Amino acid sequence: MSARIHPAAIVDPRARLAAGVTIGAFSVVGPDVTLGPGVELGHHVVLEGRVEVGADVHIGHGSALGGAPQDLKFKPETPSGVRIGAGTVLREYVTVHRATRPDGWTEIGPRCLLMGLTHVGHDCRLGEGVVLVNYAGLSGHCELEDFVTIGGQSGCPPFTRVGTFGYLGGFSKLEADLPPYMLANGVPATVRGINNVGLRRAGMGAAERRALKDAHRLLYRSGLPPGPALERLRREAPPGPAVERLVAFVAAARRGICAPPHGWRAGATAPADDVESERVGG
C-alpha cells in the first residue's frame, strides 16, 4: 500500500516513506526523514533534520521532531538526529530535539507513550515502554530506562537517570538519579517506597517484590548516607536480578540518588511501602 499524503502537506521528494504511511494536512516532512511502515502523522506535524521513525508510530497533531537543541553552544550545521522506536505514540504538540554531538541521536525506544505537550530535550535516551504524562519535560542528556513513568508537569534536569520501572509522581522536581523500581514524588522528589503497583501489573512475582522492599529498607531506612547504605545493601540484600540491578545503578550514580522524605539523617523513617505505593504508584 502506497503512502497517503494529504494534498496540503509538504513532503520533500528525498524523504524515505515506507508502505502504509499517512501524512495529515499542513504537515512538513524534510529531506532527511525516514518513515517506517504504517507511520501516521497527524495535521501540522513538523519533521526536520535527521528523523528516523520506526514502524507503526503515531505522531499527533502539532508535534515537532528534529528541531535544533535549546543549547547555546549548538552549531546549526552539526549533523545529528532523532530516532523513534516502533509502536511508539506521541500525542498532540510533543517536541523532541535532536542531539548536540556530531552523528549523535536523541532516542526514544519502542512502545513508548508521550502524552500531549511533553518535551524530550537533546541527547536524551528513553528505553522501552516509557510513559511521559502531559506537560512532563526532560532536559538534555537525560536517560530513562525501560518502563519508566514520569508524572504530569514533572521535570528532570540535565544528565538525570531514572532506573527501570522508576515512577516519578506528578508535579515533582527530580534533583538526583531515581533508582530502579523506586517511587518518588515531591519538590524536591524523595523516594517513598518501591513502585509496588507498577511492578505487580508488570508481572513481577511477590517474592521478588519482597526482596526489593527489603533492599529499599536497607538503602533508605537505615539512617545511613548513600555510600555506607550501599555497602550495607551489598552485604545484606537478598540475591536476585532486580536487587543486583538496583545495586549497580546506585553504585554508578554520578549525581547522587533521591533521598528519603526526611533526608539522610540518622534514624530517619518513612511511610510504609505498601500504603504509599498503592496510593501513588502504578
Q: Which of 32, 123, 146, 177 is catalytic?
A: 123
Strand-pairing partners, residue 33, are 51
Q: Which of 44, 97, 122, 141 is catalytic?
A: 122
Of 16, 117, 127, 5, nearest to 62 (Cα)?
117
Identify whether 87 is a catalytic site residue: no
Q: Which of 36, 49, 129, 140 is catalytic?
A: 140
Identify whether 123 is a catalytic site residue: yes
Taking the C-alpha atoms of residue 60 and residue 54, their distance in angstroms, rounded to an integer, is 15
Neighbours of 1 (CB within 10 A): 10
**Alpha-helical runs (H) found in the chain:** 196-201, 206-220, 226-236, 241-252, 273-280
Cis peptide before 188 (omega within 30 of 0): yes
Residue 134 cell numbers, joined: 502531559
List, in order, residues 6 or more apart from 219 with CB less than 8 Å away. Answer: 179, 226, 229, 230, 233, 246, 250
Identify whether 177 is a catalytic site residue: no
Taking the C-alpha atoms of residue 64 and residue 216, their distance in angstroms, rounded to an integer, is 40
- Catalytic residue annotation: 122-123, 140
